[in-house]
Structure 1
Amino acid sequence: MMEDALELLYTGDLHLGRHPSRIPDDLDGPELSPKAVWLSTVQEAIDQDVDTVVIAGDIVDQENRYFEAYGAFEDGIAQLDEAGIPVVVVAGNHDFDALPEMVDNLDSDTLQFLGREGQWERWTLEQDGEPVAHFDGWSFSAEHVYESPLEEYDLPETDDAPQIGVLHADLDSRGSRYAPVLSSELRDTPADAWLLGHIHSPGIQIDSRPLALYSGSPQPLDPGEQQAHGPWTITIPKNGEVRAEQILLASVRYDQVSVDVSGVEDPQEATSVISEEIKEHVRSELDTRSLELSLVRVHLTGRTDAHSALVDRHRSMERDLGFRERSVSVRIESIDVDTRPAIDLEDLAEGDNAAAYLADLLLEIENGDTRESYGNMVDDSLAAVRQAHSANAYNPLRRETELRDPDDNDAIEHLEQQARVLLDTLLSQKGGNA
């Protein structure tokens, strides 16, 4: 508890009721759920004897997962209640209606829900009758909020204790439907720190007074949520700068590893190279104390005679490649084949045939001048990619995440991959004289 500094444990975007995606069936289980990491977070708060736990919204994933989330949240709150640790929460866009109901149904003396009905609210932590910290919170009252909540922030400035803002919002994203807030607005407040929710990638956004950061989701939920995840400790000394430190409690980690397979002659050799690169990545880059599963997106690069074979067989490689490194199970989430046939494109482009045309196209893509010479092909590729993107098969993913619309970069990437495969096929069929 507080002596020379206020200690908070801060998290958000728990999304209780949801489960990380792309986990292989043979490894899936309740220990990889957000609930498990939430309960580990509770235990961490108790072990550290923090002054307060702060949760910045989206505790419940969806209203239809209310009952699945309720028991897990109640369990954690009961443990914190017994330890005498107060909990400050605000509602986000996913639980704007479910969280108030859940809070009202919980029997807790220490749970503080701030900002009901979109109205700023302050709760003060006291010790021996004296204020220790002021928490200013605002909650979503509807799924979409188009105006900055800080336009209505008028709570008085205090000098008797630190002020901590708790807010679920979309920082520096004008036009957002999710409470758009500017960094300049945060700087104009008297708060010592702003603890934010909504963005699942953790990180400090303002590294000065006021400190502002996103906790990120404590357990990553899909391959787009790469890097390390877990709650944060926020230390506010009586004199000095606010400090933030992440606690790596997530049991799942999504990563991307680039592997150069230049000179590789077949997929079997490529598999060996991939395995060694990933093992080295786990050994040198990852904190494995809480980690149980590493899901890796592999990006293959380089010129290789195995290019076509890798394109044909990368799906089976994704399924078959798996191992343990130390205490961590490693699986391949996907393999992106960005290799090139082991050919001299400059020499081949001097010809007057289909292979020369494809070689010139690939050189233009490498040089970044694709639209200048092949604008019509880029337009056709973009139309094809967008048509695929709008297919019904992607509807479940759209419901879970916000998919961005394909752009020129996606179209050129698709065009490049198809051109490489076609060129390699032409050369193999005609002995290099296409």
Structure 2
Amino acid sequence: MLRLLHLADLHLGWTPSFMPEPRRAERKRRRDALLRAAVDWSLRPEHRIGMVVIAGDLFETHTPDEALAASAVRELGRLVEAGIAVVTVPGNHDEITYHNSIYRRWADRWPGVLVQHPFPAHVTTLTVAGVPVHVYGLAYTGGLTPAQRPLAQFPKTDEPGLHLGVFHGVLGDWGGERSLPLDPEALGAAGYDYVALGHIHQHREHRLGRTTAVYCGAVEGKDFEDPGVGHWTVVELGGAPGHFTARIERPPAPAQVAETVTVDAGRFDDPAALETALVGMGGPERILRVRLTGALPFELDVDALAASLADRFYHLSIEDQTETVSDALLDRWASQPTILGTFIRRMRRRLEQATGDEERRLVVKALRRGVHALSGGGAP
């Protein structure tokens, strides 16, 4: 049995430009420590990791800061010194194509196996936990690697052992410029025991014939559209040669995942009640985007609200997607012979007949919600 840690898309060196200083610099430092966290986790005896595979985009660019590059080499060196096998494949962000690429300048010092072949190849055979591990992969190289159509030629030796593919690309022909397409049918036909994939930042598991192919996803993403998965991807490969099976584990990682929540602001009676609800969502490590929706019965200063709550979050962003309906617009809609007009007239009569503040608040809330639903958020 072999246990490996599958990493990809750490994008070390990326700067969160959507955050103001000093959070921007602090979060960059935190993200750049992800590799060290992965190494620390792998070195713990109880996790029994025998191999670490990096399926591309370890760095944000092909020319990361020299201090960051040196730190990455030191961290991967710790794994090698502990007897843990390391395989690194360049991605499309940290592409090997260029003469000044990190992987060209540091090739002779890179710990473990650095894949540099421009075409799919049997890169090496390692012995891990007493098992021969045959590694296949390529490093996309502009002008050499064919990328106009999905790659369909994947080599495989007849030697006994575990057969491991490592590729940074997309299954199928989707992906656009600089996204290496891989033919999923051909990849499955190759008969690898496991394929470690990078490039897609969400965790995805695919069954290609007898082959398990997995995008581990970005442990920690970049922003609200790319939030990160918040876990490591550990693969346990067991069985006999020719019959290895892959079991996927997803233990939590020390990552700050960007979260998005939608809040119906129309269900609150005033800005103070809305603010109290958002305070309850706070946390010193939380990176949160709040989307406010609904029809508001009050004026709302979103910038002032965000400023008031800023200290309760690591970072907070508020998007105002609310709808405000004026009395004049309600009057115009109420005069029309439509379902919406009938609804407004009836609810206004209910409001006139209401006894007590609580009943009035409920009727107003029902009126706002009904108008928002029946009008589709705009004029009928």
Short-chain TM bin: 0.7 to 0.9
Residue type at the aligned position of 1:42: V
Residue type at the aligned position of 2:16: P
Contact 1:253/1:293 (CA < 8 Å) preserved in 2? no
Contact 1:38/1:218 (CA < 8 Å) preserved in 2? no
Alpha-carbon distance in 2 for matches of 1:34, 1:299 = 26
- Range moving further from structure 2, 139-148 or 54-63: 139-148
Q: 1:205 to 1:299 in 2, by over 3 A?
A: farther
Select which of 97, 101, 105 maps to 2:104: 101
Q: Residue 118 of structure 2: SS of its match in structure 1? A: helix
Q: Give the deviation of 1:367 after TM superposition.
A: 7.5
Match of 2:79 in 1: 80
Q: 1:107 to 1:100 in 2, by over 3 A?
A: closer
Q: Give the deviation of 1:102 after TM superposition.
A: 4.4
Alpha-carbon distance in 2 for matches of 1:295, 1:343 = 37
Contact 1:19/1:33 (CA < 8 Å) preserved in 2? no
Identity of counterpart residues, as a percentage?
A: 22
The answer as to 2:129 corresponding to 1:116 is no
Alpha-carbon distance in 2 for matches of 1:261, 1:366 = 14
Alpha-carbon distance in 2 for matches of 1:148, 1:89 = 24
Higher relative helix content: 1
Match of 2:248 in 1: 244
Q: What 5-or-longer segments of structure 2 have no aligned partner?
A: 345-369
Alpha-carbon distance in 2 for matches of 1:73, 1:339 = 49
Alpha-carbon distance in 1 for matches of 2:274, 2:372 = 25
How does the TM-score come out when normalised to structure 1?
Answer: 0.68
Residue type at the aligned position of 1:89: T
Alpha-carbon distance in 2 for matches of 1:35, 1:185 = 36
Contact 1:21/1:221 (CA < 8 Å) preserved in 2? no
Q: Residue 242 of structure 1: SS of its match in structure 2? A: strand
Q: Give the deviation of 1:24 after TM superposition.
A: 4.4
Q: 1:349 to 1:134 in 2, by over 3 A?
A: same
The aligned runs of 1:196-345 (5 Å cut-off) are 196-206=197-207, 209-226=210-227, 228-238=229-239, 241-276=245-280, 278=281, 293-306=285-298, 309-310=299-300, 313-322=301-310, 329-341=313-325
- Range moving further from structure 2, 31-40 or 136-145: 136-145
Q: Give the deviation of 1:254 after TM superposition.
A: 0.6
Q: What 5-or-longer segments of structure 1 have no aligned partner?
A: 283-291, 371-415, 424-434
Alpha-carbon distance in 2 for matches of 1:185, 1:344 = 64
Match of 1:40 in 2: 37
Match of 2:363 in 1: none
Q: Give the deviation of 1:196 after TM superposition.
A: 0.6
Contact 1:254/1:295 (CA < 8 Å) preserved in 2? yes
Alpha-carbon distance in 1 for matches of 2:116, 2:372 = 52
Alpha-carbon distance in 1 for matches of 2:11, 2:228 = 18
Alpha-carbon distance in 2 for matches of 1:169, 1:107 = 22
Alpha-carbon distance in 1 for matches of 2:235, 2:80 = 20
Q: 1:227 to 1:101 in 2, by over 3 A?
A: closer
Q: Residue 257 of structure 1: SS of its match in structure 2? A: strand
Q: Residue 176 of structure 1: SS of its match in structure 2? A: coil
Q: Give the deviation of 1:18 after TM superposition.
A: 1.3
Alpha-carbon distance in 2 for matches of 1:61, 1:210 = 30
Q: 1:148 to 1:167 in 2, by over 3 A?
A: farther
Alignment length, in residue pairs? 340
Q: Residue 349 of structure 1: SS of its match in structure 2? A: helix
Residue type at the aligned position of 1:61: E
Match of 2:55 in 1: 56
Q: What are the Cα deviations for residues 268-320 of structure 1, in whole angstroms up to 9, with x where unaligned? A: 221112233x25xx8xxxxxxxxx732111122233302xx23xx21232233
Q: Give the deviation of 1:118 after TM superposition.
A: 3.2
Q: Residue 118 of structure 1: SS of its match in structure 2? A: coil
Residue type at the aligned position of 2:21: D
Match of 2:192 in 1: 191
Q: What are the Cα deviations for residues 394-417 of structure 1, in whole angstroms up to 9, with x where unaligned? A: xxxxxxxxxxxxxxxxxxxxxx6x
Residue type at the aligned position of 1:238: G
Alpha-carbon distance in 1 for matches of 2:157, 2:110 = 31
Alpha-carbon distance in 2 for matches of 1:351, 1:125 = 79
Q: CA RMSD in A?
A: 3.7
Residue type at the aligned position of 1:318: A
Alpha-carbon distance in 1 for matches of 2:326, 2:223 = 34
Select which of 325, 328, 349 maps to 2:333: 349
Contact 2:236/2:247 (CA < 8 Å) preserved in 1? yes
Alpha-carbon distance in 1 for matches of 2:230, 2:274 = 30
Q: Give the deviation of 1:209 after TM superposition.
A: 3.4
Q: Give the deviation of 1:157 after TM superposition.
A: 4.5
Alpha-carbon distance in 2 for matches of 1:145, 1:35 = 32
Alpha-carbon distance in 2 for matches of 1:343, 1:157 = 78
Contact 1:114/1:121 (CA < 8 Å) preserved in 2? no
Q: Give the deviation of 1:101 after TM superposition.
A: 1.5
Alpha-carbon distance in 1 for matches of 2:110, 2:187 = 34
Q: 1:103 to 1:145 in 2, by over 3 A?
A: farther
Alpha-carbon distance in 1 for matches of 2:103, 2:288 = 38
Q: Give the deviation of 1:32 after TM superposition.
A: 4.7
Q: Which structure has the bigger radius of gyration?
A: 2
Contact 1:21/1:222 (CA < 8 Å) preserved in 2? no
Contact 1:194/1:210 (CA < 8 Å) preserved in 2? yes
Q: 1:27 to 1:66 in 2, by over 3 A?
A: closer
